[in-house]
Amino acid sequence: MEKGGFSPVGLRVLVVDDDPTWLKILEKMLKKCSYEVTTCGLAREALRLLRERKDGYDIVISDVNMPDMDGFKLLEHVGLELDLPVIMMSVDGETSRVMKGVQHGACDYLLKPIRMKELKIIWQHVLRKKLQEVRDIEGCGYEGGADWITRYDEAHFLGGGEDVSFCKKRKDFDFDKKLLLQDESDPSSSSSKKARVVWSFELHQKFVNAVNQIGCDHKAGPKKILDLMNVPWLTRENVASHLQKYRLYLSRLEKEKELKCYSGGVKSIDSSTKDAELNSGHQSPGKSSFVFSEGIFQKATETDPKPLASASLSDPNTDVIMPPKTKKTRIGFDPPISSSAFDSLLSWNDVPEVLESKPVLYENSFLQQQPLPSQSSYVTNSAPALMEEEMKPPYETPVGGSGVTADEFLMPQDKIPTVTIQDLDPSALSSMKLQEFSSNVTNNTEAILRSLNCELPESNHSASLDTDLDLSWLQGERFLANTGLQFQDYSSSPSFLSELPPHLWYGNERLPDPDEYSFMVDQGLFIS
Amino acid sequence: MNTIVVAQLQRQFQDYMVSLYQQGYLDNQFTELRKLQDEGSPDFVAEVVSLFFDDCAKLINDMSISLERPDHVDFKQVDSGVHQLKGSSSSVGARRVKNVCIAFKECCDVQNREGCLRCLQQVDYEYKMLKTKLQDLFNLEQQILQAGGTIPQVDIN
């Protein structure tokens, strides 16, 4: 594919289906569409392939029913980690299933038997995503440019199947420069690409550091984080969308911890410790600890990343400057970490939207094998009701927020495991916003934290984090330990742990073993 | 090349193919499958249906095990097997097999073991029947090719 252009030819498709017959047929059909096809019979294998070759695929097509993993969970993982368009397939065309697919971020849902004509146009999803990403970039510094591109692009690209080159068509626009910039900044990407940022482990680490550094005194908004991260090629939009995912993850961890504490079955989450190479060397002894999230976050859907990102993370002060062409894969950013770093995550003042209800629970750790009550469920953003039992303390109005009510935060504990996508209110989903937790949530988490106080690490870690630091799952104090945060006031600070499990991020060699993975899978990630 | 023989064989082939559709053994998906076959993969259809039949045998076997003990039926497994079978049969256009799967699923939903067993028997019969029929079809194809002829495109309407 020519640089700066887009062509359906050679589109790199990963097909995942446990049915060998369908796999063979789809492979043939996709090859006939002139795509570059990789087949896979297991979801787990698919994820491995995707992670191995980040940026190695343009689109994923997956069956909904697979033996080792629910197709929706695969969808979530792909969306979270890779931000690739995913098409779901099934012989079952029931509305609820289709809705579930859409809610999980599938960009399309095909019914078997699948026709050639349906496969011939899947490239539009890839293009659409690219355009969205481009618009994200452009929207920052080029008002009106985005619209222009949208209109022109969609008319031009979606209308024909021929090779199109961005460069040729937009002489008076720096668009081609941006595309080139993207290519240059990411040498590993194919020539056809991508404004997509792959959040490597190191990159995420910088992100976390930046977040923590901002501290509770300041707003930890995407722009600030971006500035602190000092990653030239990264855009505010990248950070914003990543931030959303991150918050999602945190809220889920928080949920889990709550759940665990309530159920009394505090299980050791030490497997994450095993995997962690902590510079600080602090490891939580066999006790379980949970990451608390201060806020309820939501991840933008794959299919609609931009509006969500812009809606929820709009920062009036943001004026992203196009990053210079040099890409730093290694950013020597070792911010001093303040003890009140976590508070920063509490007060996202420049996040106007408030998450209305749906906390998303991420598994505490993909490495964990914690048996949650319900195996197949993942806690989703549904049910403000779900929060009811979790947050017993009364709520105060969150700082700066539009008011997170108790209803929104509390979830009935027994409901947590069984909440499924169907419980979700689609309208709420579509208007997911970031919310700030009330300080009472903090209190609650503090209480739980205190109960694990003996696990708190000494706050004498080196503040400088090597970018090579592999962070284990944030589990309360473990997170603190990992990031070397100085927590003089740990017990009173909101345990807003801001790290994602290492395996979630590229660059981390320690992927969870199959057992842990299946647990993770069972926990499920909800990506709406 | 004996053109008369070839023509006869081709005619036979066409009629047989049409009859399979008319009798409901095959549906449009099989036509689509045949379209995918090309010089690069001349045995594509045969390979795919072979995969399908292997899959059938395996799924049916697993389900029969689940249904074996009257007091301990794993309907979940059976349901999963039926679902897979349905998906699989839709891939090659095995219409009769697919139809049995629909009835099979209903028996499963109400946990009717007897019904499930009957469906299992039927689906076993149907896939084996289809296997025989397709084998005959492929044999005809081979005969045509060996006689120097080409496989006719059969228009099923």
Q: Give the residue-averaged pLDDT of A215-226.
A: 72
Which position has the higher pLDDT, A101 or A488? A101
**Radius of gyration of chain B from Cα atoms?**
18
Q: Which residues of A233-248 are buried (b: 16+ CB within 10 A; e: fewer)?
A: bbbbbbbbbbbbbbbb
Given the structure tokens 């094998």, which residue do they identify?
Answer: A369
For B93, nearest residue in chain A (alpha carbons)? A113
Q: Which residues of B23-35 are buried (b: 16+ CB within 10 A; e: fewer)?
A: eebbbebbbbbbe
In this predicted structure, what is the pLDDT of residue A262?
Answer: 60
Per cent of chain A over pLDDT 90 is 14
Per cent of chain A over pLDDT 70 is 35
In this predicted structure, what is the pLDDT of residue A368?
Answer: 39
- Nearest-CA distance B51 → chain A (Å): 6
A118-152: pLDDT as tens digits: 999 999 999 988 888 778 776 654 444 334 434 44
Helices (H), A33-157: 43-52, 71-77, 95-103, 116-120, 123-141, 145-157
Given an 8 Å threshold on Cβ–Cβ distance, is B48 in contact with A24? yes
Would you state the structure tokens that stand for residue A2, as one six-digit string?
Answer: 């020519």
Q: Is A113 on the interface with B (CB under 8 A)?
A: yes
Q: Give the residue-averaged pLDDT of A382-386.
A: 40
The top-scoring range by mean pLDDT among A24-28, A141-145, A336-340, A426-430 is: A24-28
In this predicted structure, what is the pLDDT of residue A196?
Answer: 64
In this predicted structure, what is the pLDDT of residue A38?
Answer: 95
Per cent of chain B over pLDDT 70 is 99
**Which CA distances in Å does A217 have to A254, A314, A350, A476, B30?**
22, 19, 13, 21, 66
For B53, nearest residue in chain A (alpha carbons)? A21
ipTM value greater than 0.90 = yes
In this predicted structure, what is the pLDDT of residue A213?
Answer: 81
Query: How many C-alpha atoms does A339 have within 13 Å on its Cβ side?
Result: 12
In this predicted structure, what is the pLDDT of residue A158?
Answer: 45
Q: Any idea which of A52-61, A286-295, B92-101 has the lowest mean pLDDT?
A: A286-295
**Radius of gyration of chain A from Cα atoms?**
22
Q: Give the residue-averaged pLDDT of A396-406.
A: 40
Predicted confidence band of residue A261 (pLDDT cuts 50, 70, 90): low
| pLDDT at residue A61 greater than cutoff 90 | yes
d(CA A210, CA A197): 17
| pLDDT at residue A527 greater than cutoff 50 | no
Size of interface A-B (CB pairs under 8 A): 53
| β-sheet with A12-16: strand ranges across | A36-40, A12-16, A59-63, A86-90, A108-111
Given an 8 Å threshold on Cβ–Cβ distance, is B33 in contact with A25? yes
Would you state the structure tokens that stand for residue A243, as one six-digit string?
Answer: 């931030």
Predicted confidence band of residue A63 (pLDDT cuts 50, 70, 90): very high
d(CA A310, CA B142): 62
Low-confidence ranges of chain B (pLDDT < 50): none
**Mean pLDDT across chain A:** 58
Torsion over CA of B59, B65, B71 and B73, rounded to 10 degrees? -20
d(CA A226, CA A246): 15
| pLDDT at residue A159 greater than cutoff 70 | no
A106-115: pLDDT as tens digits: 999 999 999 9
Interface of B with A (CB under 8 A): 29, 32-33, 35-36, 41, 44, 47-48, 51-52, 54-55, 80, 83-84, 86-88, 90-93
- Are A68 and A42 a contacting pair, CB within 8 Å? yes
In this predicted structure, what is the pLDDT of residue B148?
Answer: 92
| pLDDT at residue A223 greater than cutoff 50 | yes
- Nearest-CA distance A131 → chain B (Å): 32
Q: Residues of A numbered 196-235 whose beta carbons fall under 8 angstroms of chain B's beta carbons: which are they?
A: none
